[in-house]
């Protein structure tokens, strides 16, 4: 008896229909929840009259809180280690762009200290995040 002849009758195709159904449901869920997700840390931003900045890539958000704590996205970073962390993050990125949001009560000098570390890390574009002025 040849066992190979019995196996020729079996069909070994993968049914992708359930996979496609699950992926479509996940896509709809992510599309519905994505606008509700916020990046970074909550701070009280200053209000200004300015236009939005257009960006090709999803830029990194650097946050300075009222208590002078510095966050990259939602990860706390010591101010002394900021330059080295940013160098490592941007080592393989084509666009050297970061957005900075600082609480309106943070002293200007501290914001400039953080910005100097950003520049020393080799980041060429720094955008400031503010609240729009409502008329």
pLDDT in tens, 11-20: 777 888 888 9
The residues, any chain, with a CB within 8 Å of residue 101's CB and separated by 6 or more, are 40, 43, 45, 61, 62, 63, 64, 128, 129, 130
Q: Which CATH number is 65's domain given?
A: 3.30.420.270
pTM for the whole thing?
0.58
Distance, in Å, from the CA atom of 102 to the CA atom of 49, rounded to the nearest integer, reads 17
Q: Do 64 and 14 have their domain in common?
A: no
| Structural domain span for residue 92 | 47-132
Q: Tens digit of pLDDT for each residue in 64-84?
A: 999 999 999 888 999 889 999
Please indicate whether residue 86 or residue 4 has the higher confidence score (pLDDT).
86
Q: Average pLDDT, whole number, for the chain?
A: 80
- Considering the domain boundaries, does residue 41 fall inside one? no
- For residues 17 and 80, membership in a common domain is answered with no
């Amino acid at each position: 008896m040849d066992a190979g002849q019995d196996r020729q009758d079996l069909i070994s195709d993968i049914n992708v229909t359930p996979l496609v159904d699950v992926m479509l449901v996940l896509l709809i869920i992510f599309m519905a929840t994505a606008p509700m997700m916020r990046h970074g840390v909550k701070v009280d931003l200053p209000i200004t009259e300015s236009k939005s900045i257009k960006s090709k890539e999803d830029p990194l958000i650097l946050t300075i809180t009222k208590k002078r704590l510095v966050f990259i996205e939602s990860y706390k970073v010591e101010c002394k280690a900021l330059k080295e962390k940013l160098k490592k993050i941007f080592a393989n990125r084509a666009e050297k762009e970061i957005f900075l949001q600082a609480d309106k009560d943070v002293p200007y000098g501290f914001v400039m200290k953080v910005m100097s570390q950003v520049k020393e890390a080799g980041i060429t574009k720094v955008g400031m995040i503010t609240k729009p002025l409502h008329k």
